[in-house]
Amino acid sequence: MAAPAGFAAAAVALHFLAHRPRHGRKSPWRARAVCQAFGPGVVDHVNVMERVHPPRTLPHSLPLQLGLGSVVSLLPTDPEAFGYSLERSKLFVEKHSCRPAVVRGFGHEWPSTDLWRFAALVRDFGEAQFLLSRKTFDSPILECELADYASYVRSDGLYHRNPLYVFHEMFNDDPCMEMLDEFESPVIINDLFSFIDEYDDLRPPYRWLLIGTRRSGTFAHQDPHGSAAWNATVTGFKRWVMLPPDISKELVLSTCEEHDTFGWFQNLETLIAQLSTEQRAQCVDFISAPGDIVWVPSEWWHAVINLSPWTVAITENVVPFVESTSPQLCRYLPNSVAENIKKKNTKLWDCLKHSVEGLVEV
Ligand SMILES: O=C(O)CCC(=O)C(=O)O
Ligand SMILES: [Fe+2]
């Protein structure tokens, strides 16, 4: 996801101090700023929130029925749906991977369906620290315990137009690593990213846990390194808008001065009015439900807004390769990745060499 790029270089860290409500009781939460940007010492939640995000009148609804195209919808049993086997995933990549798609109900049987609901997740991981993000004028990176985030979504978060969003990069040695056993990453054919070792510094961040409340979400962006992504909605509902790569960055960002996700969706009609009929037909606007896995094609613009009070998703960036893959999909691959592939899979390396001109020079 492009939005969290630069996470590691967090400019701001904010630690919410334990001030946890019992279930069912709303309570203010306090915060201690540990960064110069907020000044020294303990600040109260109103102070912090107003500095991060000045209050505004909450609009009630977003424009709907914008007359965009429809997303490719597949069932998990479909022979061309990615997920279950390499064979199907290959067919998917060859046939559908350049268009947004959704495999409906793929994750219905995952343990996360129950375990990532509000009460269970806060019970099991309430003390674990998670990174938060939000698109604002300065996009601060914050950190808090999940129980404090839960407290936030039941109090101040209810009234924010652009609420804080848990956007947590998940490693195999993450404090909440047990969660990694509670879903099953879909099978993706020849994911070039996976040729870089997890513990190798060269591997770009690729997996995030996302927890948000109503109106939180991800501002319009393209994913980094030319990667595509799958994004599984586990709890709650999410609204997606995707626009094809040929629409310019200037146009995608032109209608939203404030750079908040809600504002982008609010001004979508103005943006769409500037597109040609063909471009409009290519764009998609749809909702993902628990169990659905969305496919975000490489270089497509996408913005997401969470519709439920507790919306949880898991997402991974991938660079699938099949012989018919367009060279542009791989053009950002650093030399080190190419070297790894050469070492680990000669057959794949031979295909890559023929298809992707100048790969090692990238
Ligand atoms: O908020 C979301 O679910 C979208 C995340 C996303 O676009 C990304 O991870 O690249
Ligand atoms: Fe993304």
User: Which atom of ligand 1 is closest in space to residue 2's alpha carbon?
Assistant: 10
The arithmetic mean of pLDDT across residues 197-217, rounded, is: 80
What is the pTM assigned to this prediction? 0.81
User: What interhelical angle do 346-355 and 335-344 show, nearest 10?
Assistant: 140
Tell me, in angstroms, the distance from the centre of ligand 2 to residue 222's CA. Answer: 6
Cα 348 to Cα 81: distance, rounded to the nearest angstrom: 22
Q: For 228-272, what is each residue's pLDDT tens digit? A: 899 999 999 999 999 999 999 999 998 877 678 988 998 999 999
| Residue carrying structure tokens 């057959």 | 347
Q: Give the ligand whose atoms come closest to the C-alpha of residue 231.
A: 1
Name the average pLDDT for the chain: 77
Protein residue whose Cα sits closest to atom 6 of ligand 1:
1
Torsion sign across C-alpha atoms 334, 337, 339, 345: negative
Q: Which atom of ligand 1 is nearest to the CA of 218?
A: 1
Give the integer Cα–Cα distance in Å for 66 and 58: 22
Q: Identify each DSSP E strand in 173-292 by its residue range.
A: 207-212, 217-221, 228-235, 238-243, 284-288
- Residues 83-122 as b/e (b if ≥16 CB within 10 A, e otherwise) read bbeeebbbbbbbebbbbbbbbbebbeebebbebbbbeebb
10 Å Cβ neighbour count for 165?
27
Residue with more model confidence, 191 or 208: 208
Domains and CATH numbers, the chain: 14-56+66-318 (2.60.120.650)
What's the average model confidence in pLDDT over 199-222?
A: 85
Cα 221 to middle of ligand 2, angstroms: 6
Question: Which residues have any ligand 1 atom within 6 Å of their CB?
Answer: 1, 208, 210, 217-218, 223, 229, 231, 238, 302, 304, 313, 315
Statement: residue 19 has pLDDT above 50: no
Per-residue pLDDT tens over the stretch 156-197? 788 888 888 998 888 766 778 899 999 999 998 878 777 766
